[in-house]
């Protein structure tokens, strides 16, 4: 099949600018595996968010994604092309229309790489099924309890964290095989997904999704619908703080992962450090702002300052630890001052 559009590299850059920065510096082999996994998961997310499909169609497409590694992907490529034009974002349209790029990438993987990618897709699909099962109307609805949100973040974030770990571990000939290191990658992935939920509260509510548990909302006399009102933030703040603190606790695993990498693997270290610093900056912004009133977003200055300070971060574990702990203290202090 002849594709009409952009390269895989350009698609990645356009659908996730910050993640692209992390991937771009990696060795070619790792970049290929992580880019492929991300683009497939992003295509899944675009399908699940599409207003052109009902839930039964979305579940059928998720099933096709889950089967794509060890079967002919042409059916899935056709399904995605069929509704790609309905997506409002140009680059999501391009991604779905040109999904054959990802399918071709899968065919070049080793059997073990295909197995790892299959685990990633199935795990993320299971998390996305939560969206489809719980959030089936335009009016905001909350997940029932804490364990539901934790399960969701583990599937959407923790499983990709393991996929990232496996790509690194393969490149380093099994150096990261210890269970504690693998658990650290899982925790980091879960924390990054929880950070996404924290920063996207308002946007998710407008789609009918409240990931913050109903059992916590009821304790504060709130409903998911109440969170559409920015003046309800004072009542909601303790719930938000609870999940920000959980994300911080999970991100504490980053020190274990970075120490295991060693100081000689510059690009691998930077590709982990940047998302962690950006996540901590995002959590701090959420702790000092009202996410019910606006989308939480860190400025480009903070994004690029982490990049510019990279040389010292790569050469010294203590410099990373100081930077991380400074951010950690800032988040904790902001939360403590508002409770």
Hey, what are 57's tokens? 């169609």
Q: What is the pLDDT of residue 6?
A: 66
What's 7-134's CATH class?
mainly alpha
> One fold for both 7-134 and 136-339?
yes
DSSP state of 122: H
Average pLDDT per run of 10 along the chain, which is 339 residues long?
Answer: 60 80 90 94 92 90 93 90 89 91 91 96 95 88 96 97 96 94 97 96 93 97 96 96 97 94 87 92 95 87 72 75 92 84
In the chain, what percentage of residues exceed pLDDT 70? 95
Query: Would you state the pLDDT for residue 143?
Result: 96
Max Cα–Cα distance, the chain, nearest Å: 59
201 vs 218: CA distance, rounded Å: 18
Q: What are the beta bridge partners of residue 209?
A: 141
Q: What is the pLDDT of residue 305?
A: 75
CA dihedral 249, 15, 43, 250 (to 10 degrees): 0
Please tell me the CATH code under which domain 136-339 is placed.
1.10.600.10
pLDDT tens for each residue of 113-144: 999 999 999 999 999 999 999 998 778 999 99
Structure tokens at 87: 């997506």
pLDDT on residue 77: 93
Domain ranges for the chain, please list them: 7-134, 136-339
Q: What is the pLDDT of residue 2?
A: 37
247, 279 in Cβ contact below 8 A?
yes
Reported pTM: 0.92
pLDDT digits (tens, 9 = 90+) for 234-277: 999 999 999 999 999 999 999 999 999 888 888 899 899 999 99
């Amino acid at each position: 099949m002849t594709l009409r559009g952009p390269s895989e590299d350009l698609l990645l850059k356009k659908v996730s600018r910050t993640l692209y920065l992390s991937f771009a510096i990696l060795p070619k082999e790792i970049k290929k595996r992580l880019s492929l996994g991300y683009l497939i998961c992003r295509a899944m997310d675009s399908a699940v968010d599409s207003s052109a499909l009902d839930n039964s169609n979305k579940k059928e497409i998720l099933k096709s994604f889950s089967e794509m590694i060890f079967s002919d992907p042409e059916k899935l490529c056709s399904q995605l092309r069929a509704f790609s034009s309905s997506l409002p974002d140009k680059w999501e349209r391009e991604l779905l229309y040109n999904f054959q790029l990802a399918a071709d990438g899968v065919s070049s993987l080793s059997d073990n790489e295909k197995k790892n990618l299959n685990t990633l897709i199935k795990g993320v699909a299971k998390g996305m099924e939560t969206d489809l099962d719980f959030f089936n109307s335009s009016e905001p609805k909350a997940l029932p309890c804490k364990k539901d949100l934790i399960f969701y973040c583990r599937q959407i974030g923790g499983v990709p964290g393991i996929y990232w770990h496996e790509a690194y571990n393969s490149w380093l000939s099994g150096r990261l095989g210890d269970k504690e290191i693998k658990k650290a990658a899982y925790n980091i992935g879960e924390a990054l997904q929880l950070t996404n939920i924290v920063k996207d509260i308002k946007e998710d509510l407008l789609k009918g999704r409240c990931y913050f548990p109903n059992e916590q909302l009821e304790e504060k006399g709130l409903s998911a619908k109440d969170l559409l009102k920015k003046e309800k933030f004072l009542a909601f703040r303790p719930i938000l703080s609870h999940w920000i603190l959980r994300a911080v606790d999970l991100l504490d695993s980053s020190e274990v992962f970075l120490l295991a990498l060693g100081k000689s693997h510059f690009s691998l270290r930077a590709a982990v450090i940047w998302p962690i610093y950006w996540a901590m900056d995002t959590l701090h912004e959420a702790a000092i702002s009202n996410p019910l009133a606006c989308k939480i977003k860190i400025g480009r200055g903070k994004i690029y300052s982490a990049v510019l300070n990279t040389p010292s971060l790569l050469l010294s574990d203590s410099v990373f630890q100081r930077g991380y702990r400074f951010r950690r203290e800032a988040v904790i202090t902001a939360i403590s001052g508002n409770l």
